[in-house]
Structure 1
């Protein structure tokens, strides 16, 4: 989604209830500011606190290897055209060793340059986004490689980040300046 005026503005920290503020403590940038997405979702503080519990599992306790998790998230960001998600997770993916060429490849209809396991995971992500289901062939390839916990975490990751992408796009959440700076290096590729 191209940048535009936010539909919901981030809540000022002084206006966030204490329980929600405590839950947001780990969600601050290097300047100590709460990330825009979380400050925006703080407009519904009770839902935010509950959402963060699930999000903490998906992002922090996920049984998928972190590289694979980030490939999935970036693929969802491209599918949804959620620029904030794309830029934020491009930065995270770089930190875990995903190359810029691989990040760019995730923004193509047929991503290339990935091994067989990664390609299967990307196909599964595309199917889950498009159909909320997996065909038998992809399921078998996934089942041969991943544990039941990892398969559940795959579905949870896709669901979580589709929800995040919907929030980003619907509320027109704007990237922080340090994240927006990645637009020059790793812009969100448009869907064909």
Structure 2
């Protein structure tokens, strides 16, 4: 996608983790993962601001676990959004989740290029592209989404796209590095 960006804000060092840090993560990860190794670099960086993390993570947890979208639709939408944002970190971290959601390597290539063989997937890609380019869904995309999704699902889709664009901006701006590299 893009060259790695310079690290601007490092994850909170292990020796600085305290009960408030672990509590800030409780909306998204279980207590046994509320540590630098278990939380990963994104969450370990976000906890530098406890109040923001406590406010943001319930929203993110909703998008990941309780939204009305299927896992497949969520992953198609967020992968296309983070691809637009050039966020390799989120792209690579969501590939295993996408595979569990039933997306094949061919599907993932289609998400990257903007051409999915499945009709519903292509409708989602067009919606992501429209929102990224124009910050609004045109009437054609709005109606196409209405043909396959309820109003709640359309709202969840818009928030998923926007939510992951927001997270990609944070990851890219802070230069958060992949903990697996």
Note whether the superposition's TM-score is higher than 0.5: yes
How far apart are 1:134 and its partner, in Å?
0.6
Per-residue Cα deviation, 1:88-114 (whole angstroms, up to 9, x for no partner): 011210122211121122111x3232x
Per-residue Cα deviation, 1:84-142 (whole angstroms, up to 9, x for no partner): 0100011210122211121122111x3232x2111111100111112111111111111
Which has the larger share of helix? 2
Matches within 5 A, 1:51-130: 51-108=56-113, 110-113=114-117, 115-130=118-133
Residues paired across the two proteins, number: 175
Structure 1: where are the runs of 5+ without partners? Answer: 181-192
Residue of structure 1 in register with 2:179 after alignment: 176
What is the distance in 2 between the residues matched to 1:170 and 1:96? 29
Structure 2: where are the runs of 5+ without partners? Answer: none
- Tell me if structure 1 keeps the 8 A contact 2:24–2:47: no
CA RMSD of aligned residues (A): 1.9
Residue of structure 2 in register with 1:47 after alignment: 52
What TM-score, normalized by structure 1, do the two folds share?
0.84
What is the distance in 1 between the residues matched to 2:128 and 2:94? 16
- Tell me if structure 2 keeps the 8 A contact 1:17–1:45: no
What TM-score, normalized by structure 2, do the two folds share?
0.89
Stretches of 4+ aligned residues off by more than 6 angstroms:
none
Return 163-172 or 12-21, whichever deviates more. Answer: 12-21
